[in-house]
Every structure is written in structure tokens, then in C-alpha cells.
Amino acid sequence: MGIGGGLGVVLEGVRASIAALDALEREDASLASGLDVGFGLGAGVGAGVDVLQRRYEIRLERLELTSRLEAQLAAVKAQDAADAVGFQEAMTPPDASIEDRTYAQMSVVEEIAGVLTIGSAAAGALVEQSRRVCSLPPVFEALSTGTMSWQHARVVADETEGLDAVGAAGLVAHFFDPAAPDPARGAAPGELVPSRFRAKIRGWRERHHPESIQKRHVKGLANRRMEYTPDRDGMAWISLYLPGDTACAIWNRTTATARGLQGPNEPRTLTQLRPDIAASLLLGAGNALGGESGAGPAGVTAIGKVPTPRADVLVTVPVFSLLGLTDEPAMLDGFGPIPASMARKLLAGGADSFYRVLVDPRDGAPLEIGRKNYRLTGAIKRWIRLRDAQCTFPGCTNKTPDNETDHLTAWEHGGTTNVSNLAQLCRKHHRLKHHSQWAPGPATSKDPPGWTSPTGRHHKPEKQDAEPTHWPPGSLPAHAVRGAVVAGVELGATGPVEDGQWQQLLASMPPWSDPPVEEPPSEDLLDPGELRPADPLWDEFHARFYELPADPQADWQCCYT
């Protein structure tokens, strides 16, 4: 969008939003006058109207309209900031030196800072974000129509930084153009909270960035640091900038230790326990480096005596990336994309808390979840974690290690224990589901449930954005399988490649491409957690003799060496 681009359409939308707000205000005043005189109905209000319910709904509608108006005004603000810099550049003589141009731009940034009463750094960030948003028409259109907020627009501006014009256009098309060859699945950008929208965009950016994540990770590793920021009320912040796997492991350990400390005699909450544990470990409670008087053997601390439950972490890694044939990013549960080398190190190092998830090179769908126990309940829980990635309640960003697996349709109401009737919920939203009219929709093996609010507003499910993995150089790419011969039949000779042919092709590949399958799905499986201790089924269970099968991962050890 060029300098002085017309804002007429945006301003028309602003006027329409204000008119809608005015209409709601008149309706609310009419309802309020009826309550004031004690009749329960205002002038022009029909019989049978629940006045309090309608006034409650008006508040929600006004909040929605106000949010749209804020986005529209943000579009006006962004356009004016970008235009101001553009006009300043146009007024700068063509033969001006680089120094003169730099000072001219600094001057307009300071001018904007004074007009908005903000700092120079904030004004500079606003200018850069505004220029980037205005240079991406689909993003500016979504902002100017109120489809998404300025926070969402800032996410796009931030995540397109460092990308060339082609890369930025590809990212925007993926998330904003439904007609794109491979559009994003799930909720539209304006229907995701900014943090989840950023996670989706960042995941796509990491996979499609022109520079490999391995190279960028090496640069980031050199910038690792610790920061200290004093705060009010005698408090302060300590921040660590670390490799993702290290940070994730620290978080999981403190969380697991905190859960082990919780009990009837522990007054501290989980949120309070985490920093207390971290501070104890960092300050050497019990002298973790060499023992302390009364603390036991060297290396054993008071914290170490706490029973610590294992915090399982899923590492989703493409098969070719696991074998070292490509450097495609893996996904670390609760964190996001990580370099393939980091994933291989985690899995080859025998870390007990990491489960590897292999994905199909054709479409990115999960092939198999690594396991150590031949238990269907554990496999189902890990599958739900892989599918949902976080609490499924609208807008919640609570990651998988802190969540609970919940029956969407309660067991006592006929709900079954399978992936289509299970979903992740954090403790807060788990309780809300059972004590309010928030209702989850159906789920599938691939997609989490959507939700419906007590006022009938439907929130779409946030679906995973799987895509085909990278094939190593010189190998047979997914789109080139057409023409391969399986069982004497040329694939795709008469039409699309059939699923059965795909299975035969996978079976003919090396052993690593055909992992052991999980237990067959069943509609009548019981979750032991749902059985009462006195249930007679337990007697039958303990009376049986069970022989564990051979380790299904025995053949996979070659992949880790």
C-alpha cells in the first residue's frame, strides 16, 4: 500500500462499528428504563424477553464490537505511521547522504514518539511493524476490517522479519489465503489468541525459512545469557535464554518435583513451588556439588530426596531426519520446532523422559509413538498429547505436561475411552467444564474438539498443521511415487494412489519405515482409573497370568547409533 493510500473503506467500517455500538446502547437504555420502573420490560420490549439475560448479551456484543473498532483504528494508526515515514523519505533530496537519510528517519520517529507520548524505542518498533503490516495487503485488510487485532498483526510483522519478499508472501498466503495451494488448517488467525497464532506461524516459518534451523540455532546458542530485572514490592525477575531442550527439561523437572511435594500438609501452590525449587537448586540447598553436613552423600540434596514423578515429553521427528538424511526440524512437546541434531541427541542419549514420534514422509501424519510399556492407556494418553499439543479450551495455552485427559462424554453417560472421546484440559478448565455450561464438541483421531459457550458462541478446534516431510537428496519424493511398481501394478497409472498400495510400498521399504503398530482400536476398552477399587473386574484381572511381548523397539536401536 503506497503513501497516502486511501483509508475511505477503513473509515466506513469505523463508522459502521460506532453506529452498531450506538444501537446497542439505545437498546440497553430501553431495557434499563423498564427495570427502573419495576415492570421488567422497557419501552418497545416484547413479552417473554429475559431482560437481564439480554443485557448480559449486549455487554458481550459491545465487547466484540469494541474489539473490532480497536483493530480498525489500529489500521488507521499503522497506515499513518507508515505514510509519515514515507512522506519524510520523499521529501529527502535524492542526493542526500546516508547519514542525512538516517537522521531524517530518526527525526520522524521522534516526532511520532512525541505525538503518541511513548518512548523512542516504542515509536521505532511501531514504525517498523506498521510498515511491514502495510506492505502485506492481506494482513492490512484483515486488520482494517476488524477480523484480527493489532496484536495478531504484530505477530505477523515480527515473524516475517528476516524473510525476503517471497518468503513473507508465502507465509501470509499460507495463513490468510484460503485459495492457497496448502492453506493452514483450523481456526482463522483472528480466531486464535495471539500466543497460539504466533506458535502456528513460528512453526511454519521454521520449516520454510531459507536458512536451516540448525544454522540459526548455532547463532542463537552463542547468545545464551541470564538476565536480572528488579521489580516492585521487593521482587525481581531472573530470566535464562537457553537451548529449547534444556529450558524444557528445567521446566519439566521443577513441575514434576513440585507435584511430588504437593500434599495435605503443603500450603504452597504449584505456581509458588516452581520458583522455590529452582531457587533451592541454584543456591545449592544441601550442597548439590559436594554434599553438606547432615545432607547425606555428595551429590544428594534435600530436593533430590523428594519422590519425583517422571515427566514424559514427546519428540516428533520425521523419519529421514531421525536417520540423519535431512536436517528438517523436529517438534519438542511444549516448546516447538528444534534442530534435527538436538532431537537425535535427545533420543540417542537414552533420555528416559523422551518418547519419539515418527511421522509419515507423505503427509506428516504420525506413524508410531515410541513406548516402554505395553499398555493401551499410556499409548492413548500420549496420542492425545500429540494431537492436542495444549489444553483444548478456547484460548488456553497450557502445555501438555500440566494437563489432564478428560472424557468429552462422561463415562457414566455412555462415553467410551478412545481418542475420539478424549481431550486434554488443564485443571482450571477441567473443573469449569464440569461446573458450567461450556460444552465440548466431537473430536477425531486427528483433530481436537471445538467448544460452545453458555451463550451459544462456537469456538472452532485448533487443528495441527501437518505437512509432508522433506525427502533426502536423490531419494524418491512423495509426489514421484506415482509410477513405482508394487505387486506388478504401476502406482497411479489409472488414478490416485490407493491406500493399500501405499501400505505395500511402505512394507517394501527398509525396516525403519515400517514401525510396529499400537494395539488395535476398540470401543469396549476400560480405563483402570474409571474403576472403583472394589469392582469385581479387578479380581478377574489379578487372577490372570500375563506374559509381556517382545520389546517392539528392539529393531530401532540401530537408528540411534
- The confidence score (pLDDT) of residue 132 equals 94
Pull the grid cell for residue 453: 459457550
**Dist CA 181 CA 69 (whole Å):** 32
- Please calculate the CA angle 42-46-50 and round it to the nearest 5 degrees: 75
- Going residue by residue through the chain, which has 561 residues, state the pLDDT in tens, using 9 for 90 and above: 455 556 788 899 999 999 999 999 999 998 888 765 554 444 455 567 788 999 999 999 999 999 999 999 999 999 999 999 999 888 988 888 888 888 888 888 998 999 999 888 899 999 999 999 999 999 999 999 999 999 999 999 999 988 888 889 989 998 998 888 778 876 677 788 898 888 888 888 888 888 878 888 888 888 999 998 888 877 889 999 988 888 888 888 888 888 888 888 889 988 899 999 988 888 875 444 333 434 444 443 444 333 333 445 667 777 677 777 777 787 777 677 888 777 777 766 555 555 666 666 655 655 555 544 333 356 667 777 777 778 888 888 777 666 888 888 876 777 776 677 888 888 888 888 888 888 888 888 778 888 888 888 888 887 776 666 666 665 555 444 444 444 444 544 444 445 555 455 555 544 433 333 344 444 455 555 555 666 666 666 556 554 544 554 445 444 333
3-state secondary structure of 366: strand
Amino acid in position 421? N
Cβ-based burial of 164 (10 A; exposed 0-12, middle 13-18, buried ≥19): exposed
| Long-range pairs of 108-116 with CB within 8 A, sequence gap ≥ 24 | 108/84, 109/85, 111/84, 112/81, 112/84
Walk across the sheet containing 313-318 and list its strands. 336-338, 330-332, 313-318, 354-359, 366-369
**Dist CA 31 CA 55 (whole Å):** 7
Strands (E) in 413-493, as ranges, are: 422-425, 439-440, 451-452, 458-459, 485-486, 489-490
Cβ contact 273:263 at 8 Å: no
- The confidence score (pLDDT) of residue 217 equals 85
Closest CA to 403 of 444, 431, 436, 440: 431
Q: What is the DSSP string of 209-256?
A: -SS-HHHHHHHHHHT-EEEEEE-STT-EEEEEE--HHHHHHHHHHHHH
- Please calculate the CA angle 116-119-124 and round it to the nearest 5 degrees: 85
Q: Which residues contact 62 (CB under 8 A, 6 or more apart)?
A: 21, 24, 25
Cβ contact 51:45 at 8 Å: yes
**Dist CA 316 CA 336 (whole Å):** 10
- The confidence score (pLDDT) of residue 419 equals 72
**Dist CA 281 CA 159 (whole Å):** 35
- The confidence score (pLDDT) of residue 138 equals 93
- The confidence score (pLDDT) of residue 83 equals 92
**Dist CA 127 CA 149 (whole Å):** 17
State the pTM of this model.
0.63
- The confidence score (pLDDT) of residue 125 equals 93
**Dist CA 378 CA 312 (whole Å):** 11
Cβ-based burial of 514 (10 A; exposed 0-12, middle 13-18, buried ≥19): middle
Q: Which residues contact 456 (CB under 8 A, 6 or more apart)?
A: none
